[in-house]
Structure 1
Amino acid sequence: MGTKSVGLRRLHSATAAGLGMVAGVIAAVAAQRNALDAISKRLERLEEQAGHQQRANLAMQQRQHWELLSKAIDDPELAEVLDLYEVPVTAEKRRQYLFANALYTNLLCYHRMGNLTLDEFFKHARAMFQNPIARDYWEATRHDRASLKGTEEAKLGQMIDDLLLQLDEADTEEWWVVGEPPTDL
Protein backbone atom coordinates (compact mmCIF):
# COMPACT_ATOMS: atom_id res chain seq x y z
CA MET A 1 0.00 0.00 0.00
CA GLY A 2 2.85 2.31 0.78
CA THR A 3 4.29 1.61 -2.64
CA LYS A 4 1.01 2.57 -4.30
CA SER A 5 0.95 5.84 -2.35
CA VAL A 6 4.45 6.74 -3.37
CA GLY A 7 3.65 5.84 -7.00
CA LEU A 8 0.50 7.95 -6.94
CA ARG A 9 2.32 10.85 -5.36
CA ARG A 10 5.00 10.67 -8.05
CA LEU A 11 2.29 10.47 -10.73
CA HIS A 12 0.48 13.46 -9.23
CA SER A 13 3.77 15.36 -8.96
CA ALA A 14 4.69 14.54 -12.54
CA THR A 15 1.19 15.45 -13.72
CA ALA A 16 1.27 18.70 -11.76
CA ALA A 17 4.71 19.52 -13.14
CA GLY A 18 3.53 18.70 -16.66
CA LEU A 19 0.42 20.81 -16.22
CA GLY A 20 2.52 23.63 -14.83
CA MET A 21 4.83 23.41 -17.81
CA VAL A 22 1.88 23.40 -20.22
CA ALA A 23 0.37 26.38 -18.39
CA GLY A 24 3.71 28.18 -18.64
CA VAL A 25 3.95 27.48 -22.36
CA ILE A 26 0.37 28.70 -22.88
CA ALA A 27 1.11 31.87 -20.92
CA ALA A 28 4.29 32.47 -22.93
CA VAL A 29 2.46 31.92 -26.21
CA ALA A 30 -0.34 34.27 -25.10
CA ALA A 31 2.22 36.92 -24.13
CA GLN A 32 3.97 36.55 -27.49
CA ARG A 33 0.63 36.77 -29.27
CA ASN A 34 -0.23 39.97 -27.39
CA ALA A 35 3.17 41.42 -28.26
CA LEU A 36 2.71 40.47 -31.94
CA ASP A 37 -0.77 42.01 -31.97
CA ALA A 38 0.61 45.23 -30.47
CA ILE A 39 3.42 45.30 -33.06
CA SER A 40 0.94 44.62 -35.85
CA LYS A 41 -1.32 47.50 -34.71
CA ARG A 42 1.68 49.81 -34.48
CA LEU A 43 2.77 48.86 -38.02
CA GLU A 44 -0.75 49.52 -39.33
CA ARG A 45 -0.71 52.99 -37.72
CA LEU A 46 2.73 53.71 -39.19
CA GLU A 47 1.62 52.56 -42.65
CA GLU A 48 -1.46 54.76 -42.39
CA GLN A 49 0.68 57.73 -41.37
CA ALA A 50 3.07 57.02 -44.24
CA GLY A 51 0.12 56.95 -46.66
CA HIS A 52 -1.09 60.32 -45.35
CA GLN A 53 2.43 61.72 -45.65
CA GLN A 54 2.78 60.42 -49.20
CA ARG A 55 -0.51 62.02 -50.22
CA ALA A 56 0.54 65.28 -48.55
CA ASN A 57 3.87 65.16 -50.41
CA LEU A 58 2.09 64.55 -53.71
CA ALA A 59 -0.28 67.45 -53.04
CA MET A 60 2.63 69.75 -52.24
CA GLN A 61 4.50 68.64 -55.36
CA GLN A 62 1.40 69.24 -57.47
CA ARG A 63 1.05 72.74 -56.00
CA GLN A 64 4.70 73.51 -56.79
CA HIS A 65 4.29 72.15 -60.31
CA TRP A 66 1.27 74.38 -60.88
CA GLU A 67 3.11 77.43 -59.53
CA LEU A 68 6.01 76.84 -61.90
CA LEU A 69 3.73 76.25 -64.88
CA SER A 70 1.69 79.33 -63.99
CA LYS A 71 4.83 81.46 -64.06
CA ALA A 72 5.78 80.00 -67.44
CA ILE A 73 2.27 80.50 -68.83
CA ASP A 74 2.28 84.13 -67.68
CA ASP A 75 5.83 84.93 -68.85
CA PRO A 76 6.85 83.92 -72.39
CA GLU A 77 10.54 84.27 -71.52
CA LEU A 78 10.20 81.69 -68.74
CA ALA A 79 8.09 79.46 -70.98
CA GLU A 80 11.02 79.20 -73.39
CA VAL A 81 12.87 77.22 -70.71
CA LEU A 82 10.19 74.54 -70.94
CA ASP A 83 10.12 74.44 -74.72
CA LEU A 84 11.57 70.95 -75.21
CA TYR A 85 9.37 69.97 -78.12
CA GLU A 86 10.95 68.39 -81.17
CA VAL A 87 9.05 70.70 -83.49
CA PRO A 88 9.22 74.46 -82.86
CA VAL A 89 5.97 75.92 -81.51
CA THR A 90 4.65 79.45 -81.28
CA ALA A 91 4.47 81.24 -77.93
CA GLU A 92 0.68 80.79 -77.98
CA LYS A 93 0.95 77.06 -78.68
CA ARG A 94 3.60 76.71 -75.94
CA ARG A 95 1.24 78.32 -73.40
CA GLN A 96 -1.52 75.96 -74.47
CA TYR A 97 0.80 72.96 -74.13
CA LEU A 98 1.86 74.10 -70.68
CA PHE A 99 -1.77 74.32 -69.65
CA ALA A 100 -2.49 70.88 -71.16
CA ASN A 101 0.48 69.58 -69.16
CA ALA A 102 -1.01 71.11 -66.00
CA LEU A 103 -4.36 69.44 -66.70
CA TYR A 104 -2.77 66.05 -67.33
CA THR A 105 -0.47 66.34 -64.31
CA ASN A 106 -3.46 67.21 -62.14
CA LEU A 107 -5.26 64.12 -63.39
CA LEU A 108 -2.18 61.98 -62.80
CA CYS A 109 -1.68 63.31 -59.26
CA TYR A 110 -5.34 62.76 -58.37
CA HIS A 111 -4.97 59.15 -59.44
CA ARG A 112 -1.72 58.69 -57.51
CA MET A 113 -3.27 60.18 -54.38
CA GLY A 114 -6.09 57.69 -54.59
CA ASN A 115 -8.74 60.30 -55.40
CA LEU A 116 -9.42 58.65 -58.78
CA THR A 117 -9.63 54.97 -59.54
CA LEU A 118 -7.99 53.68 -62.70
CA ASP A 119 -11.43 53.55 -64.30
CA GLU A 120 -12.11 57.19 -63.37
CA PHE A 121 -8.66 58.24 -64.60
CA PHE A 122 -9.37 56.54 -67.92
CA LYS A 123 -12.74 58.27 -68.31
CA HIS A 124 -11.34 61.72 -67.45
CA ALA A 125 -8.44 61.20 -69.87
CA ARG A 126 -10.86 60.10 -72.59
CA ALA A 127 -12.76 63.39 -72.13
CA MET A 128 -9.61 65.54 -71.87
CA PHE A 129 -8.18 64.21 -75.12
CA GLN A 130 -11.26 65.12 -77.11
CA ASN A 131 -9.65 68.53 -77.33
CA PRO A 132 -7.36 68.84 -80.37
CA ILE A 133 -4.84 71.00 -78.48
CA ALA A 134 -4.57 68.38 -75.72
CA ARG A 135 -3.98 65.75 -78.43
CA ASP A 136 -1.32 67.90 -80.09
CA TYR A 137 0.38 68.33 -76.70
CA TRP A 138 0.27 64.56 -76.17
CA GLU A 139 1.89 63.93 -79.52
CA ALA A 140 4.48 66.68 -79.00
CA THR A 141 5.57 65.11 -75.70
CA ARG A 142 5.75 61.51 -76.93
CA HIS A 143 9.56 61.51 -76.74
CA ASP A 144 9.39 62.62 -73.08
CA ARG A 145 7.17 59.68 -72.17
CA ALA A 146 9.49 57.26 -73.97
CA SER A 147 12.06 57.82 -71.22
CA LEU A 148 9.66 56.68 -68.48
CA LYS A 149 9.90 52.95 -69.22
CA GLY A 150 8.73 50.60 -66.48
CA THR A 151 7.04 53.27 -64.36
CA GLU A 152 3.40 53.66 -63.45
CA GLU A 153 3.35 56.89 -65.43
CA ALA A 154 4.66 55.04 -68.50
CA LYS A 155 1.90 52.46 -68.16
CA LEU A 156 -0.75 55.16 -67.83
CA GLY A 157 0.74 56.93 -70.85
CA GLN A 158 0.58 53.71 -72.86
CA MET A 159 -3.04 53.28 -71.76
CA ILE A 160 -3.80 56.75 -73.14
CA ASP A 161 -1.88 56.03 -76.36
CA ASP A 162 -4.02 52.90 -76.82
CA LEU A 163 -7.18 54.86 -76.06
CA LEU A 164 -6.32 57.58 -78.58
CA LEU A 165 -5.70 54.92 -81.24
CA GLN A 166 -9.10 53.38 -80.44
CA LEU A 167 -10.75 56.80 -80.63
CA ASP A 168 -9.13 57.46 -84.01
CA GLU A 169 -10.28 54.09 -85.34
CA ALA A 170 -13.81 54.24 -83.87
CA ASP A 171 -16.66 54.50 -86.35
CA THR A 172 -18.87 56.34 -83.87
CA GLU A 173 -19.19 59.95 -82.81
CA GLU A 174 -20.03 58.74 -79.29
CA TRP A 175 -16.49 59.07 -77.94
CA TRP A 176 -17.60 58.45 -74.36
CA VAL A 177 -18.24 54.77 -75.13
CA VAL A 178 -14.93 54.09 -76.90
CA GLY A 179 -12.36 51.94 -75.17
CA GLU A 180 -12.47 49.71 -72.15
CA PRO A 181 -10.78 50.94 -69.00
CA PRO A 182 -8.15 48.46 -67.84
CA THR A 183 -8.75 46.63 -64.60
CA ASP A 184 -5.12 47.07 -63.54
CA LEU A 185 -1.79 48.23 -64.86
Structure 2
Amino acid sequence: MSTKNLGLRRLRSAAATGLGLGLAAAAFATVATQRHTLDALNERLEHLEIQARNQQQANLAMQQRQHWELLSKAIDDPELAEVLDSYEVPVTVQKRRQYLFANALYTNLLCYHRIGNLTRDEFFKHARGIFQNPIVRDYWYATGHQRASLKGTDEAELGRLIDDLLAQLDDADTEEWWVVGDPCD
Protein backbone atom coordinates (compact mmCIF):
# COMPACT_ATOMS: atom_id res chain seq x y z
CA MET A 1 0.00 0.00 0.00
CA SER A 2 2.80 2.41 0.79
CA THR A 3 4.16 1.92 -2.72
CA LYS A 4 0.75 2.75 -4.08
CA ASN A 5 0.55 5.89 -1.89
CA LEU A 6 4.05 6.94 -2.91
CA GLY A 7 3.13 6.63 -6.57
CA LEU A 8 -0.08 8.56 -5.99
CA ARG A 9 1.83 11.30 -4.15
CA ARG A 10 4.35 11.52 -6.98
CA LEU A 11 1.53 11.74 -9.48
CA ARG A 12 -0.15 14.49 -7.47
CA SER A 13 3.18 16.31 -7.08
CA ALA A 14 3.86 16.09 -10.79
CA ALA A 15 0.35 17.29 -11.55
CA ALA A 16 0.75 20.17 -9.11
CA THR A 17 4.12 21.05 -10.60
CA GLY A 18 2.67 20.87 -14.10
CA LEU A 19 -0.27 23.00 -13.01
CA GLY A 20 2.12 25.46 -11.34
CA LEU A 21 4.27 25.61 -14.46
CA GLY A 22 1.16 26.06 -16.57
CA LEU A 23 -0.04 28.90 -14.35
CA ALA A 24 3.41 30.49 -14.42
CA ALA A 25 3.54 30.21 -18.21
CA ALA A 26 0.07 31.73 -18.48
CA ALA A 27 1.04 34.57 -16.12
CA PHE A 28 4.24 35.17 -18.09
CA ALA A 29 2.28 35.26 -21.36
CA THR A 30 -0.22 37.70 -19.82
CA VAL A 31 2.57 39.98 -18.55
CA ALA A 32 4.32 39.84 -21.94
CA THR A 33 1.07 40.74 -23.71
CA GLN A 34 0.43 43.61 -21.29
CA ARG A 35 4.01 44.85 -21.73
CA HIS A 36 3.60 44.77 -25.51
CA THR A 37 0.32 46.70 -25.19
CA LEU A 38 1.94 49.29 -22.89
CA ASP A 39 4.88 49.69 -25.28
CA ALA A 40 2.47 50.20 -28.18
CA LEU A 41 0.48 52.76 -26.16
CA ASN A 42 3.66 54.63 -25.17
CA GLU A 43 4.81 54.71 -28.78
CA ARG A 44 1.40 56.03 -29.89
CA LEU A 45 1.44 58.66 -27.13
CA GLU A 46 4.91 59.85 -28.17
CA HIS A 47 3.72 60.06 -31.77
CA LEU A 48 0.67 62.10 -30.72
CA GLU A 49 2.85 64.44 -28.62
CA ILE A 50 5.15 65.05 -31.59
CA GLN A 51 2.11 65.64 -33.79
CA ALA A 52 0.72 68.12 -31.25
CA ARG A 53 4.03 70.03 -31.10
CA ASN A 54 4.18 70.14 -34.90
CA GLN A 55 0.59 71.36 -35.06
CA GLN A 56 1.30 74.03 -32.45
CA GLN A 57 4.30 75.23 -34.44
CA ALA A 58 2.22 75.25 -37.63
CA ASN A 59 -0.48 77.24 -35.85
CA LEU A 60 2.06 79.76 -34.58
CA ALA A 61 3.55 80.10 -38.06
CA MET A 62 0.09 80.65 -39.55
CA GLN A 63 -0.74 83.23 -36.90
CA GLN A 64 2.56 84.99 -37.55
CA ARG A 65 1.77 85.09 -41.27
CA GLN A 66 -1.68 86.55 -40.62
CA HIS A 67 -0.20 89.11 -38.24
CA TRP A 68 2.28 90.22 -40.90
CA GLU A 69 -0.46 90.48 -43.53
CA LEU A 70 -2.53 92.71 -41.26
CA LEU A 71 0.45 94.87 -40.36
CA SER A 72 1.43 95.14 -44.03
CA LYS A 73 -2.02 96.43 -44.90
CA ALA A 74 -1.85 98.94 -42.08
CA ILE A 75 1.65 100.06 -43.05
CA ASP A 76 0.52 100.60 -46.64
CA ASP A 77 -2.78 102.32 -45.80
CA PRO A 78 -2.78 105.13 -43.21
CA GLU A 79 -6.55 104.84 -42.78
CA LEU A 80 -6.22 101.21 -41.72
CA ALA A 81 -3.23 102.07 -39.53
CA GLU A 82 -5.47 104.36 -37.50
CA VAL A 83 -7.31 101.26 -36.28
CA LEU A 84 -4.11 100.02 -34.67
CA ASP A 85 -3.18 103.37 -33.14
CA SER A 86 -3.43 102.67 -29.42
CA TYR A 87 -0.31 104.50 -28.34
CA GLU A 88 -0.23 106.61 -25.21
CA VAL A 89 0.66 109.76 -27.13
CA PRO A 90 -0.48 110.92 -30.57
CA VAL A 91 1.92 109.95 -33.34
CA THR A 92 2.36 111.10 -36.91
CA VAL A 93 1.47 108.88 -39.86
CA GLN A 94 5.17 108.27 -40.47
CA LYS A 95 5.82 107.38 -36.82
CA ARG A 96 2.79 105.04 -36.78
CA ARG A 97 4.13 103.18 -39.82
CA GLN A 98 7.52 102.89 -38.13
CA TYR A 99 5.90 101.58 -34.94
CA LEU A 100 3.94 99.02 -36.92
CA PHE A 101 7.14 97.81 -38.52
CA ALA A 102 8.88 97.74 -35.12
CA ASN A 103 5.97 95.65 -33.87
CA ALA A 104 6.46 93.26 -36.79
CA LEU A 105 10.19 92.94 -35.99
CA TYR A 106 9.56 92.20 -32.33
CA THR A 107 6.65 89.83 -33.02
CA ASN A 108 8.79 87.93 -35.52
CA LEU A 109 11.52 87.55 -32.92
CA LEU A 110 8.96 86.43 -30.35
CA CYS A 111 7.50 83.87 -32.78
CA TYR A 112 10.95 82.46 -33.56
CA HIS A 113 11.49 81.95 -29.84
CA ARG A 114 8.06 80.37 -29.31
CA ILE A 115 8.49 77.78 -32.05
CA GLY A 116 11.92 76.84 -30.75
CA ASN A 117 14.11 78.41 -33.43
CA LEU A 118 15.76 80.65 -30.83
CA THR A 119 16.76 79.87 -27.27
CA ARG A 120 16.07 82.48 -24.61
CA ASP A 121 19.73 83.53 -24.79
CA GLU A 122 19.55 83.90 -28.59
CA PHE A 123 16.28 85.83 -28.27
CA PHE A 124 18.02 88.18 -25.84
CA LYS A 125 21.01 88.73 -28.13
CA HIS A 126 18.81 89.47 -31.16
CA ALA A 127 16.64 91.80 -29.10
CA ARG A 128 19.71 93.61 -27.85
CA GLY A 129 20.59 94.37 -31.48
CA ILE A 130 17.06 95.37 -32.55
CA PHE A 131 16.64 97.73 -29.59
CA GLN A 132 19.72 99.71 -30.54
CA ASN A 133 17.43 101.54 -32.93
CA PRO A 134 15.83 104.60 -31.26
CA ILE A 135 12.56 104.15 -33.19
CA VAL A 136 12.21 100.59 -31.92
CA ARG A 137 12.87 101.85 -28.39
CA ASP A 138 10.27 104.61 -28.82
CA TYR A 139 7.79 101.98 -30.02
CA TRP A 140 8.55 99.85 -26.97
CA TYR A 141 7.97 102.70 -24.55
CA ALA A 142 4.81 103.83 -26.40
CA THR A 143 3.29 100.36 -26.06
CA GLY A 144 4.22 99.68 -22.45
CA HIS A 145 0.62 99.99 -21.28
CA GLN A 146 -0.38 97.21 -23.69
CA ARG A 147 2.23 94.83 -22.29
CA ALA A 148 1.23 95.70 -18.72
CA SER A 149 -1.97 93.72 -19.23
CA LEU A 150 -0.01 90.54 -20.00
CA LYS A 151 0.32 88.65 -16.74
CA GLY A 152 1.78 85.20 -16.23
CA THR A 153 2.57 84.53 -19.88
CA ASP A 154 5.76 83.76 -21.76
CA GLU A 155 5.28 87.03 -23.65
CA ALA A 156 5.01 88.98 -20.38
CA GLU A 157 8.22 87.38 -19.11
CA LEU A 158 10.07 88.22 -22.32
CA GLY A 159 8.67 91.76 -22.17
CA ARG A 160 10.15 92.18 -18.68
CA LEU A 161 13.42 90.80 -20.05
CA ILE A 162 13.42 93.58 -22.68
CA ASP A 163 12.49 96.20 -20.07
CA ASP A 164 15.44 95.07 -17.94
CA LEU A 165 17.73 95.05 -20.97
CA LEU A 166 16.77 98.62 -21.90
CA ALA A 167 17.38 99.79 -18.33
CA GLN A 168 20.80 98.10 -18.38
CA LEU A 169 21.63 99.67 -21.75
CA ASP A 170 20.63 103.10 -20.45
CA ASP A 171 22.76 102.66 -17.31
CA ALA A 172 25.77 101.16 -19.10
CA ASP A 173 28.88 103.29 -19.27
CA THR A 174 30.25 101.51 -22.30
CA GLU A 175 29.80 101.96 -26.00
CA GLU A 176 30.01 98.19 -26.45
CA TRP A 177 26.25 97.56 -26.32
CA TRP A 178 26.66 93.94 -27.45
CA VAL A 179 28.12 92.97 -24.07
CA VAL A 180 25.49 94.71 -21.94
CA GLY A 181 22.97 92.63 -20.04
CA ASP A 182 22.42 89.03 -19.16
CA PRO A 183 19.34 87.08 -20.23
CA CYS A 184 19.29 85.33 -16.85
CA ASP A 185 18.93 88.58 -14.87
Q: TM-score, normalised by structure 2?
A: 0.96
Report whether the alignment pairs 1:124 with 2:126: yes
Q: Which residue of 1 aligns with 2:4?
A: 2
Q: Which residue of 1 aligns with 2:49?
A: 47
* Cα distance per residue 1:52-100 (max 9 Å; x no partner): 1111111111111001001101111111110001111111110000000
Report whether the alignment pairs 1:18 with 2:20: yes
Structure 1: distance between partners of 2:143 and 2:176 = 27
Give the match's secondary structure for 1:94: helix
Map 1:87-166 onto structure 2 (within 5 A). Answer: 87-166=89-168
CA RMSD of aligned residues (A): 1.1
Match of 1:73 among 58, 75, 86: 75
Structure 1: distance between partners of 2:118 and 2:148 = 24
Determine which structure has more spread, i.e. the larger CA radius of gyration.
Answer: 2
* Cα distance per residue 1:104-157 (max 9 Å; x no partner): 000001111111111111110111101111111010010000111001100010
After TM superposition, what 4+ stretches of structure 1 lie above 6 angstroms from structure 2? none
Alpha-carbon deviation of 1:47?
1.2
Match of 1:61 among 56, 60, 63: 63
Identical amino acids, percent of aligned pairs: 72
Give the match's secondary structure for 1:27: helix
* Cα distance per residue 1:6-51 (max 9 Å; x no partner): 1111111111111111111111011011001111111111111111
Q: TM-score, normalised by structure 1?
A: 0.96
Unmatched tracts of structure 2, length 5 or more: none
